Structure 1
Amino acid sequence: MTERGFDLADRVAARHDTDLYRDIAPVDRVAERSYFAPDPGRDLPVLDGEEHLVFAANNYLGLTQHDRVQEAAAQAADVVGTGAGASRLVTGDTLVHRDLELRLAEVKGTDRALAFSSGYAANVGTIAALDPDVVFSDEFNHASIVDGCRLSGADVVVYDHRDAGDLRRRMAARAESSEHTASGGPPSSTDGGEDESWLVVTDSVFSMDGTVAPLEALCDAVESFGAWLMVDEAHATGLHVDGGGIVQREGLEERVHVQMGTLSKALASQGGYVAGSESLIEHLVNEARSFVFSTGLAPPAAAAASEALHLARHGECRDRLWSNVGQLRNGLESVGYEVWGDTQVLPIVVGDRLDALALERAVRERGIVAPAIRPPTVPEGTSRIRIAPMATHSRSDVEHCIEAFRAAGEEVGLL
């Protein structure tokens, strides 16, 4: 009989052969220091005896262990329930969802906000629901943006990374081809009418590089062609002005049509959100399939994110994070590393994937968890260690990390 199934064992073996295999390592808690266990497969994990400092998580403000965040989640579970129980269009819309969305809209400077079950669902559902004719997408955008573009059925034009000039050129070329067709020229696969809807999508902080999109220049380009701009603030929400993101830091609330972000990073919870105009949110409530056909965000997650956002706005955690970022960057550069980016994400670019894996192992032996990031997540030849401090790391924790990287770099021949 003809075999039409899938040889998955061979696919996994191929990943092993090319040093691209990944596994998952259980931890005892989500915090700045944790006990880890090797991937047990189907068995229960057995934790190692040594605690490690975690410089790898997106828990940037360290709020997953904050008493007030945990109390908010516990109270919501007690009063509202552990799960939403249904789509929010049925019976899963609760007061804690509305409280979270009100706070998000205040921070983002928009009419309303809408919480999704994940950041991935927010991106995929929003892009598809907007149903654009053309999407202009930064070449390094997150996979959820890429998949949203695919599901939307739009013509996708990829512009050079963080290059507003290249975006302008590509938009001008599309407009020129549309005008040519309208004047009677022969159509092509890239032609459209003057009534096309255009969406430009970018991350604000690129999580593997630690770099920031040139949002003001992108706004200028978008406005020149009458398009819409959507900004993914997943790695920026909670970290800037009044607990906002890069859009707030640069005062661009009135110029960005769609602000998206997650609750699962600095806000220490789970889920995603979209913030924008009243009509945008009403449209997504009715048309975003990942919202309509998903059970609502669990009430404890919504309450935890709401309290974390309050702490990000009014507490000292943001200041502590940026102090740790500065100390860590200066220390790593002083021992001889080149550190990319200008955010809380501090990539040490090694280049060769085997060197990156060796450095990861060497720092782990010294009590530091920081992952090697390899292709296809990043381009070939740019393998790196992605370092991300938390607000809850002490100054001595940061010094320990710097010393571990110094000794590990010397051991593996990178310094």
Structure 2
Amino acid sequence: MDDRGFDLEDRLARREADELKRELAPVDRIAERGYFAHAAGSDLPVLDGEEALVFASNNYLGLTDDERVENAARQAASVVGTGAGASRLVTGDTMVHRDLERQLAETKGTERALAFSSGYAANVGTITALEPDVVFSDEYNHASIIDGCRLADAETIVYDHCDAASLESKLEARAEAAADGESWLIVTDSVFSMDGTVAPLPAICDLADAFGAWVMVDEAHATGLYANGGGVVQAEGLEDRVDVQMGTLSKALASQGGYVAGSEALIEWLVNDARSFVFSTGLTPPAAAAASEALHVARHGDVRERLWDNVAHLRDGLESMGYRVLGDSQILPVLVGDREDALLLADGLRERTVVAPAIRPPTVPEGTSRIRVVPMATHTHEDIVACLEAFQAAGEEVGLL
């Protein structure tokens, strides 16, 4: 009999030979510092004995172990339940979900919002439900946007990263061959997770107006961090010009899940036609409650200011050593270039109890390997200094400084 199965061992061996095989590394808690363990196969992991500073998390505001957020999740579990138990359209819709969506809509300046079980589900479900004929997509957009375009079977036109002139040229070229009644969607992240760059949203909105397209913005790495706890859309005052605002609850909002905010008609359509919403069990009540409380803290506390102070301190310190730091956001990619040097630098940081990973091809283009550095609002001044000292020592050891 012919073997028509899958040789997964060979695939894994090739990936390991290329130094691209990933391993899980458990940590004892999600916070600015913790104990880590190596992958242990079927055995229980054993945490290392030395605590490490974490400068690699998307827990930007440090709220995953905030007592207020923990209490909100605990109360929701006690009163409502640990799980939704069904899809939102069956019996999984609760007042906890409605409260979260009310807060999100208020923060994002929209008529309504809708919570999904993940950010990935929000992007895929929204793009496929809209069924655009043509999508104009930034070349560095998240995988969930790319997969959403594929599943929607849309003609996808990729424009150069954060380049409004490139987008304009693509729009002009497509307009010459456009059929009557075509629907166009321009999709971009607002903050790009590997480069720390920020999309030129005002220019994108101007182009959308000129060509009659809709705009969808993924605020996964921006929600909670900008004006009034919103994202870049709020910082730029573009609420009335961005048709679809998407984001996650699993980064700055210290929970799990995703959301879409927009018009009443948009949300009603997604409730009825976004398969990743319709056919998924609702977001767990504790996750919804935790995100609600984290959003409240982000809007009314001082955590955003503390984050941006740490970002400025860390960027200034790294640049003063001679490192090239990319981006314009809370994500600080330290460009190394050579893949092996980046791995050695990451190892050197880890030896000095600082966790900041090397990002290398194929995640980023050849010759642009980097260390992705991200402070949290809860890092102290001493933590930032310790991180900088580790970069100084490890960089000298590798020969980068």
TM-score by length of 2: 0.99
Shift of 1:42: 2.1
| 2:205 aligned partner | 219
Whether 1:257 and 2:248 are equivalent positions in the alignment is: no
Whether 1:286 and 2:272 are equivalent positions in the alignment is: yes
Shift of 1:46: 0.4
Shift of 1:323: 0.5
- Taking the aligned partners of 1:374 and 1:22, their CA distance within structure 2 comes to 12
In the TM superposition, 1:172-211 aligns within 5 A as 172-178=172-178, 193-211=179-197
| 2:27 aligned partner | 27
Q: Which runs of 5+ in 1 are unaligned?
A: 179-192
Shift of 1:339: 0.5
- Taking the aligned partners of 2:292 and 2:7, their CA distance within structure 1 comes to 45
AA partner of residue 376 (structure 1): P
AA partner of residue 250 (structure 1): E
- Taking the aligned partners of 1:273 and 1:43, their CA distance within structure 2 comes to 36
| 1:105 aligned partner | 105
Which of the residues 358, 363, 369 maps onto 1:377? 363
AA partner of residue 394 (structure 2): A
| 2:126 aligned partner | 126
In the TM superposition, 1:266-345 aligns within 5 A as 266-345=252-331
Cα deviation code 1:11-68 (max 9, x no counterpart): 1111121121211100000000000000112221000000000000000000001010
| 1:166 aligned partner | 166
- Taking the aligned partners of 1:95 and 1:354, their CA distance within structure 2 comes to 51
AA partner of residue 227 (structure 1): A
Query: How many residue pairs get matched?
Result: 401
| 1:95 aligned partner | 95
Shift of 1:221: 0.6
Q: Which runs of 5+ in 2 are unaligned?
A: none
- Taking the aligned partners of 1:266 and 1:248, their CA distance within structure 2 comes to 16
| 1:116 aligned partner | 116
Whether 1:394 and 2:342 are equivalent positions in the alignment is: no
Shift of 1:342: 1.1
Cα deviation code 1:240-295 (max 9, x no counterpart): 11000000000000000000000000000000000000000000000000000000
- Taking the aligned partners of 1:299 and 1:335, their CA distance within structure 2 comes to 46
| 2:77 aligned partner | 77
Whether 1:353 and 2:339 are equivalent positions in the alignment is: yes
- Taking the aligned partners of 1:142 and 1:313, their CA distance within structure 2 comes to 26
TM-score by length of 1: 0.96
Shift of 1:194: 2.1
Equivalent pair of 1:96/1:303 in contact (CA under 8 Å)? yes
Sequence identity percentage? 74
The runs of at least 4 aligned residues of structure 1 exceeding 3 Å deviation read: none
- Taking the aligned partners of 2:196 and 2:7, their CA distance within structure 1 comes to 37
AA partner of residue 280 (structure 1): L
| 2:215 aligned partner | 229
AA partner of residue 374 (structure 2): A
